[in-house]
Amino acid sequence: MTVPTESTSGPISGSGASVAVTNIGELFTGDLLADTPYGVISDAALVIEGGHVAWTGPRARCPAADTSYDAGGRAVLPGFVDSHSHLVFAGERSGEFAARMAGAAYSAGGIRSTVAATRAASDEQLHARVAGLVGEMIRQGTTTVEIKSGYGLTAHDEQRSLAIARQFTDETTFLGAHVVPDGIAVEDYVELVTGPMLAAAAPYARWIDAFCEVGAFDADQARRVLEAGAAAGLRGRLHANQLGPGPGVQLGVELGLLAVEHCTHLTAADVAALRDSGTIATLLPGVEFSTRQPYPDARGLLDGGVRIALASDCNPGSCFTSSMPLCVALAVREMGMTPAEAVSAATLGGADALGRIDVGALVPGRRADLVILDAPSHSYLAYRPGVPLVASVWRSGRPT
Ligand code: NIG
Ligand code: FE
C-alpha cells in the first residue's frame, strides 16, 4: 500500500467542489440494501460533493470529479457512531479498576466519587477533559458521539455538564438519574430530577436517560424520569440490565425507545420483546472487559432477530476506553459477531440508535464521514487488535 496523496493542493471538498476518493482496496459502504453483503465493494471509488457522499462503485466506473485522492489500496469504512459515552467528569478511578482485577466486583456506588470530583472541577477543567477524550475518539475513527451528563447530580452541575458537552456534539443526554447522591432520599431525588434539574438541563439536551438497576433507580422511578423528559421534549434512552436481570429492557420497549443500552443480562422474554419492537440493543463490550462480567450474547441476539449497536460507554468507572476499534475487536472475539456485523453495529447501528439518517453509512446523501484504514479490509480491526490502523478520518468530506 502506498501513502495516500492528493492530486491537487486545493481544498479537499469545498461547498461546490467534488472529490473522487479512488484506489480504495475495499469500500465498506454499510448499505444493507446493496447487492453485496454490507455493500462491500472491492477496488472501489467514492465521490464526495458538498460534504456528502454523491456516488460509490467500482473504481473503473468512477465519474469525473474536480479533485481526486488516492487511497492507496486501503480499506474505507463509515466513521464510527459512538452512541453511548460519559465524557464530562473529573478525576479517575484506576484504583477501583486494579481492585476489580484483583477480584473485587464492580458496583454502581463508585459513581459517587466521580460526582464529588466533578462538582469540585471548574468549567475549564471539565471542558479540557472532554476535548481530550473527543480528540482521542476522532483519532480512532469516531465521527459522531453521544455524550451524557450524570456526574453532577445537582441542577447547576448537570446543566453545566450538558452545556460543555453541547460544545462538542448535538447528541447530548441528561442523565440526572444516574445514581442517588449522598444526603438525599431517593423519592426526593426523583422529584428533583423530574422538576428543577430537568428544567435546567433540558435546553442543553436532546435525550434523557436513567440507570435502571438495583442500587440505582427501579422501573417505576425510571419511567417517571423518562416520562417527565418526554413532556419536556427529550427522547428517552435507558441503561438497562447491566449488572443483573431486571425490568429495564421491557420498560424501554414499552416506552418505545429507539435503544436500550448494556443488555448484558437478558431473559428469553427480553429478547422476544426487543425482536418484536425493533428497539435496538446497544452493547458495550468495553464494560465487560473492564469489569470482568460475562459479555452480552450478541450472537443470540442477532440470531433472534434483534438489531444491535456497539458503543464505547467511555467513563472513568466501568470502562475507560474511547476506542471503537477495541469494541469491534471484542465484539468479534468475545461475542460471536462477524467483523462485518461488528463494523455495521459500530456505524449504522449507532446511527440508528440515535435516530440519525445522515451518518453511519457511505451511501449517496449521507455525510461523507469516513475512516481510511491502514489495512486492506475492515476485518483487520479484529484481526490486528490493539494496532493503530486508523490512517485518516474525514468528517463531512474533509480530513480532520
Ligand atoms: O454505563 N451504568 C452506569 N453508568 C456507567 C458507569 C459509571 C461509573 O461507574 O462511573 C456505565 O457503565
Ligand atoms: Fe453508560
Q: Are 347 and 237 members of one domain?
A: yes
Q: Which three cell numbers stand for residue 82?
A: 459512538
Query: Ligand 1, atom 3: nearest CA belongs to which residue?
Result: 211
Domain with residue 38: its CATH number is 2.30.40.10
Task: Specify whether 299 is located in the same domain as 155.
Answer: yes
Domain co-membership, 345 together with 377: no
**pLDDT tens for the chain, residues 1 to 400:** 333 333 333 334 445 699 999 999 999 999 999 999 999 999 999 999 999 999 999 999 999 999 999 999 999 999 999 999 999 999 999 999 999 999 999 988 899 999 999 999 999 999 999 999 999 999 999 999 999 999 999 999 999 999 999 999 999 999 999 999 999 999 999 999 999 999 999 999 999 999 999 999 999 999 999 999 999 999 999 999 999 999 999 999 999 999 999 999 999 999 999 999 999 999 999 999 999 999 999 999 999 999 999 999 999 999 999 999 999 999 999 999 999 999 999 999 999 999 999 999 999 999 999 999 999 999 999 999 999 999 999 999 999 9
Query: Could you identify the atom of ligand 1 that is nearest to the CA of residue 213?
Result: 2
The pairing of beta strand 52-58 with beta strand 40-49? antiparallel
Residues 89 and 65 in one domain: no
State the ligand closest to the CA atom of 287: 1
Which residues have C-beta within 8 Å of that of residue 381, sequence separation ≥ 6?
Answer: 325, 328, 329, 339, 342, 343, 373, 375, 389
- Domain with 341, as residue range(s), is 81-353
Q: Residue 359, SS3? A: coil
> Are 72 and 220 in the same domain?
no
In 3D space, the residue among 257, 241, 222 whose CA is nearest the CA of residue 354 turns out to be: 257
Residues 323, 312 contacting (CB under 8 angstroms): yes
Q: Residue 317, Cα to own-chain centre: how many angstroms? A: 17
Is residue 72 domain-shared with residue 163, that is, in the same domain?
Answer: no
Kindly report the backbone phi and psi dihedral angles of residue 127, in degrees, each rounded to the nearest multiple of 5, phi listed first. -60, -45
Residues contacting ligand 1 via CB (< 6 Å): 86, 110-111, 114, 211, 239, 242, 287, 313, 315-318
Do 330 and 206 lie in one domain? The reply is: yes
Q: How many domains does the chain have?
A: 2
Give per-residue burial for 71-92: e unless 16+ CB within 10 Å, then b.
bbebbbbbbbbbbbbbbbbbee
Q: Residue 237 sits in a domain of what CATH number?
A: 3.20.20.140
Verify that 261 and 151 share a domain, yes or no. yes
User: Does 69 share its domain with 87?
Assistant: no
Q: Can you count the helices (H) and strands (E) in the chain?
A: 14, 19
- CA of 173 relative to ligand 2 center, distance in Å: 11
Ligand nearest to the CA of 264: 1
Q: Give the Å distance between the CA of 390 and the centre of ligand 1.
A: 27
Q: How far is the CA of 306 from the centre of ligand 2 (A)?
A: 20
125 and 211 share one domain: yes
Domain match, 29 and 93 both: no
Residues 71 and 88 in one domain: no
